[in-house]
Chains A and B, each alone.
Chain A
């Protein structure tokens, strides 16, 4: 679609290109020294790095452009014809993969040494050299201590804890389609539990959701204010909230994937020299140490830095729980990126109320069954649970690139043909899911009547 609009504007684009060339030549002479970075990171983080970098490089002025990861990608895509952005700086490797695929990043390899090739099972830098990891982050669970105390809830420790009925209506999570890092969590769960079991577990958790937030920061925000008690968040949200004085705590479940947060130079960057300088700075000892700032709290990728870390600060290179036996197939994740997001939205985000109703009925039934067992009702319970877990597509279908392409619609050539429309497919899934949720709720209600 973007292509089409571009086509219709070829002439203007050409003129723009011509002027851009002139612009670059004059720009080089003027040596503006402006470095424009589009980032999803909060100002608490960028502020610190900006100040230090500008101190070290007085000629360079950093322009930080705060955008949500998804909006940042959109922005770089929409403006690529007349690019003014030097760097993209964000957490989720997938986001960089999207830009890489569109040819919107340029290669750069850091000169810094002493950084291991992998953190957990994840390569720290892009093997193709298009983006560079500078900090690690892992997903975990944060909770509001006052909330748990007031509602007399135990503190969760594992992902599976969040499936328990006791946490019904107390959990918050962001939608993977809205947050690149959340997507990683969902993928991690899917890849390690398997497609069917992974989704089943995800949905049991989702049955306890109070909110599916639009922004990834919505989750720590909700926990901090006590709007809901427990959130599935990336570590620095939990750690920095704690650092800001909120009565919250954070834990890594035993199965967590550590993923690097990244930075990459945008292709045709107006000031790629300064951009490369910034990457070197991020990976330098000084830059890595800044990550320990209580308002930032990200895990440095240089193992040497941890000697300066405060007590209790997690160290992914030595802590057992973070050693991570988890595998993560980045290619698989990338291929079904949009499909998984869309499936999550259709089954959970947009149908949260239906899922909540069904889950409530099942929880009630389970409680009653525990007091007064009844094999017939127990069978209905299993049926209802299975109905909720049912998926509109199999793993094989999900991994089929043809179906996945419906969700990208990036025709490389005019002759490429895509069958089916996303909205059409989503509508089918939606009907399937809504029917199953409502059947499950009715089955559970029926079983309750038997008791």
Chain B
């Protein structure tokens, strides 16, 4: 299986799409580099699948331009785009054997028979399923079906590979295995890949870069860690991982910036900007103060509402003046835990907080 030669970038310029009166995509702009593993992340209904399908050529023709490499494909039918797509349901044809399924795209491209045979075998080897070539899809397990779907797509050497929630029908263990397999396959083939998912762990672990979508709009694009650490807005902050978010206002009081939450909690902060905004910090950056606070800490006093044992962590829910804060503590054997109802103080290092504007 050849690598990289086909690899193209994708450019999306001002793409919009309406289903009847509902706008599903609003002015989407995006550039994906050749060979990049890119993820579309967002809740259901955010438009991420629609955007993927627009790239593949399914559904109504969007406004704006979609380019694969240098080629404008917005108005091309799917079969002229040379885009490989793996469907959430795998869409393996039940009336064909595994071999026939994989050979289909090659036959459509009028590849000579002997080559078809050879390339199908290669593709099957790539996904380690050569012995199952003569089975029918209904005789395969979910994970095997997934790999056949992948093989069927990559065998035609598409310019880009589109994966529509490919792991959602697999059980948890298999999912982790599969996403590594997909990633290693992508690296091996050097294919420009877009991966649609609503699971941030999947996106974080695989994607070079990702786009977070909500309500048809791209909220933020960047490397997974950058997005996590520096969310652009409240949505991204809340959507990626767990976050404690306080909505309120930043004022300058005594020439020092102070955050005043809507519930009236006052915290001195380092950020200089003023106006309405939200203060964001992560549970794992929040500490329960057993002794004294650090110098740069914000201090929050509250009462433990709940305690959850998560294995590696213990999470406390703490009520701070009407705000429910999540606090994570590493769990170790013999570690002491605070009971529900206890009054405690929380400390958050100032540099671990972010201000976002919605």
The reply, when asked whether chain A contacts chain B directly with Cβ atoms under 8 A, is no
B contact set with A: CB distance below 8 Å? none
